Structure 1
Amino acid sequence: MTKIKYLFALILFAAIVYACDDNLNGFTNPYENVDYEALAISDNDTIVTFLESHYYNESLDSLQLIDANQTSLLADSRLEIIETEQNSINYKLYVFVTEEGVTTPPKGNPTEMDSIFVNRKGIQLLNNSLDTDPFDEADETWWSLANTFGISGSASTPIRGWTKGFPILKPGENITNNGPLTFQNTGKGFIFIPSGLAYPSINYQLGGLDNALFDQIIVFKVELLDFVKDTDHDNDGIPSIEEDADGDGDPTNDYSDSSQPNLPDYLNPNY
């Protein structure tokens, strides 16, 4: 009798699930028809249009629409263009450097594996103008440019656009003297990030929360205060940038520990 009741309950459950939806138990992916390659091209066109029609106003420290003979952002020598690939799609990231950053002695630039200390303000690029209402803004925050996978005690991991963009900048000097943290001669700029390097909906999980920033072009106004040179994430005495077992220049794809196949070497103190 118990088996009959169990079988009946199982059939009833299956019928309810089927009645709700024959596609993934009632959940559908609202982004399943997004053409991410086409979106990458469209995003780049939108960013280039903005760069062609705006310039950097030194006195206001802001990006303004060209109204005379100002040099466009696209033609300005301070603009750096970074080509990269994500999810098998080619992207261009644009970094406009307003102040490069100076330290004594010279500290150089962070790598994609270092931890950084920054000020930031995130805004959307809409209709060839920058939104006046930031979606994100904070000062003096630590981030790990290398993915830390949410490991307790580690700095948070930013979007891919940061990982590729921040190494263009240099930090400033910490001149704190028995007071609040104070920096001078910091690296500053604007990072123009296509949606595929920001918050792409390709990462959407069925049943998860939607994100208003999915597939949106964003711009971060940033200031690199400092960074940890040769960051050692697992404290094994080897800088994370050097934990590159296969020698391909990318430490994020090295997994030498067969007992922990999902833990990259730079987060594994045993390797």
Structure 2
Amino acid sequence: MKKKDLFLLVLVFALTWSCKKDDDKLDIEVVPPQSLSETAIEDDAEIKEYLQTHFYNYEEFDNPPTDFDYKIKFDTIAGDNAGKTPIIDMTDNLKTEVITVKSSDFGRDDDEEVSHTLYTLVVREGEVEEHPTIGDYTVLHYEGTLIDGTAFDASVNVEARLYLSSTVRGYGNGVEYLSPGTGPFENGDGTVSFEGYGIGAVFIPSGLGYFDRAPSGSGIASYTPLVFKIDLLSFEANTDFDGDGIPSILEDLDGDGNLNNDNTDQDTERIFLPNHNDSDDDADGIPTIDEIDIDNEGNVTFRDTDGDGISDHLDSDS
């Protein structure tokens, strides 16, 4: 299977779903169609309420017991836990980012552009002081749940290698706040381990998740916020997903943190392939890698042969 074909499959499914028998599938409530704007308001209220009424095991992370597994555990602030600090008040750990989402990204024709707030809880910084971009491959553990804690996917004991722009947008943008650890280290039994990796969780409104396009059999209803616990083990900086010589992050032409809406030759394509997944970005028959210059250190220089202010690899008549 070609990389482009694989990307289309990965983008549709976004994350690898755990195999379930039919009788193990979650019941899905059929929800009437909603606009992006009204859903954003409802999702943000639901996420904020959760953050105000829940805490995580921060005391264990601050003073790890001998047998601590370094796993995030959420619980309700009530009863014996009444004095715990709510997540929303942990301002040093909770990162918020406002991201604009277009309804056209979900096939809508109502031309809405709606601000969504992404909440990322950084529980532990990784030992390596670098961060991945939305255009990088990452190696991580993750657990995906609905906001009520119902699990729908996980790769907890096996390292998952994910290209962040092939996941739902909020997941990729959230992972950017984490930093990796060191490793891999051979364990002598065919497995590897990592040390000092970043640990966090991301709370994703549906407009930065699946909105009304959740994969069949996933157990996720339309317009459902998602929560992912994440261990960022490592990442591959300056990933070049399509092998065209340009790091994927440099193919975010409008700088909006979404690589999947930058497609120079979309008017001529039979299948929509954004630039970071297209080895001939302007469809002129000349591979992108032959229209740029790369030095011995991997730095890219963009040519403009006809001096029109458009780089050759984006200019079909250059």
**TM-score, normalised relative to structure 2:** 0.62
Percent of pairs identical after alignment? 31
1:56 Cα deviation after fit: 1.9
Structure 2: which amino acid aligns with 1:265? N
Show the counterpart of 1:42.
42
Moved over 6 A (4+): 246-249
1:212 Cα deviation after fit: 3.4
Show the counterpart of 2:68.
none
Q: Does 2:227 correspond to 1:212?
A: no
Counterpart Cα distance in 2 of 1:46 and 1:249: 25
Aligned positions of 1:103-114 closer than 5 A: 103=128, 106=129, 108-114=130-136
Match for 1:163 among 155, 159, 172? 172
Report Cα offsets for 1:133-155 as digits up to 9, x if no partner. x2111131111112xxxxxxxxx
Question: CA 1:228–1:33 in 2, change beyond 3 Å: closer, same or farther?
Answer: same
Counterpart Cα distance in 2 of 1:251 and 1:95: 20
Counterpart Cα distance in 2 of 1:158 and 1:145: 5
Show the counterpart of 2:161.
142
Structure 1: which amino acid aligns with 2:97? I
Counterpart Cα distance in 2 of 1:182 and 1:31: 43
1:210 Cα deviation after fit: 7.2
CA RMSD of aligned residues (A): 2.6
Aligned positions of 1:189-204 closer than 5 A: 189-201=200-212, 203=213
Q: Alignment partner of 1:182: what SS?
A: strand
Q: Alignment partner of 2:227: what SS?
A: strand
1:57 Cα deviation after fit: 1.4
Counterpart Cα distance in 1 of 2:217 and 2:72: 34
Question: CA 1:172–1:36 in 2, change beyond 3 Å: closer, same or farther?
Answer: same
Structure 2: which amino acid aligns with 1:188? I
Show the counterpart of 2:250.
242
Q: Which has the larger radius of gyration?
A: 1
Q: Does 2:73 correspond to 1:62?
A: yes
Structure 2: which amino acid aligns with 1:71? T
1:230 Cα deviation after fit: 0.3
Q: Does 2:263 correspond to 1:255?
A: yes
Show the counterpart of 2:116.
91
Show the counterpart of 2:238.
230
Question: CA 1:218–1:253 in 2, change beyond 3 Å: closer, same or farther?
Answer: closer
Counterpart Cα distance in 1 of 2:256 and 2:227: 31
1:246 Cα deviation after fit: 6.4
Question: CA 1:167–1:200 in 2, change beyond 3 Å: closer, same or farther?
Answer: same
Answer yes or no: is the 8 Å Cα contact 1:96–1:190 preserved in 2: yes
Show the counterpart of 1:117.
139
Please say which of residues 259-268 and 173-182 is displaced more in the overlay.
259-268
1:190 Cα deviation after fit: 1.1
Counterpart Cα distance in 2 of 1:36 and 1:253: 18
Structure 1: which amino acid aligns with 2:83? N
Match for 1:73 among 87, 94, 97? 87
1:264 Cα deviation after fit: 2.6
Show the counterpart of 2:303.
none
Q: Alignment partner of 2:273: what SS?
A: coil
1:250 Cα deviation after fit: 5.8
Counterpart Cα distance in 1 of 2:97 and 2:255: 22
Q: Does 2:40 correspond to 1:33?
A: no
Runs of 5+ in structure 1 lacking a partner?
Answer: 1-29, 147-156
Question: CA 1:135–1:251 in 2, change beyond 3 Å: closer, same or farther?
Answer: closer
Show the counterpart of 2:302.
none
Question: CA 1:229–1:199 in 2, change beyond 3 Å: closer, same or farther?
Answer: same
1:222 Cα deviation after fit: 0.8
Counterpart Cα distance in 1 of 2:187 and 2:52: 46
Counterpart Cα distance in 2 of 1:165 and 1:178: 30
Question: CA 1:248–1:69 in 2, change beyond 3 Å: closer, same or farther?
Answer: closer
Answer yes or no: is the 8 Å Cα contact 1:242–1:251 preserved in 2: no
Counterpart Cα distance in 2 of 1:53 and 1:83: 22
Structure 2: which amino acid aligns with 1:136? D
